[in-house]
Amino acid sequence: MFFSAALPLACLPSQPVQAVEGGSATLQCSLDPPVDLSSTAVEWNRGHTRYVHVYRSRRDDPDSQMLQYRDRTALNHGDLSRGVSTLTISNVSLSDNGSYEVYLPQRGVRCSTHLTVAAERRNRVLGVLIPAAFVIAIVWILVKLGVIRKF
């Protein structure tokens, strides 16, 4: 495989991912051609230097990741041998919203994908309040119009 380092290597991100606060999100980038990444350094970053998850020397390196991602990230090691970098972030929070980059320092290859985080609790409350307010408004109008008699 002496040629592989010289071959142009494309990094293809998955579609942007959506997640709900407290849920989990799986971000993915695939290499074309699918070179084996298991003995290569693989970084997931926000910006160029803020480490979300670092894999080097054939293992995860949790000491270098940002504190906010500690114990929340999992890199799929099986996928690395197929040239795919799959990162699962659990207990997603609103501050996780934004773009994420895969960087392969030895190959100078990078690509980025986007995670959109939705606030769950607020949506759930609004999802109940808005229809309830609508029903109350309709009843009030019908009472005013005399369609429904006052009790």
98 binds ligand NAG (CB under 6 A): yes
94 binds ligand NAG (CB under 6 A): yes
93 binds ligand NAG (CB under 6 A): yes
In contact, 96 and 25? CB cutoff 8 Å: yes
88 binds ligand NAG (CB under 6 A): no
Cα dihedral across residues 110, 76, 35, 32: positive or negative: negative
97 binds ligand NAG (CB under 6 A): yes
Among 91, 105, 132, 141, binds ligand NAG (CB under 6 A): 91
136 binds ligand NAG (CB under 6 A): no
**Alpha carbon separation from 14 to 17, 28, 33, 87 (Å, rounded):** 8, 5, 16, 11
b/e code 38-63 from CB counts within 10 Å (16+ = b): eebbbbbbbeeeebbbbbeeeebeee
68 binds ligand NAG (CB under 6 A): no
The length of the chain is: 151
Task: State the binding string over 102-121 for ligand NAG (x if CB under 6 A, else -).
Answer: --------------x-----
Binding footprint of ligand NAG, residue count (CB under 6 A): 6
Enumerate binding residues for ligand NAG (CB under 6 A). Answer: 91, 93-94, 97-98, 116
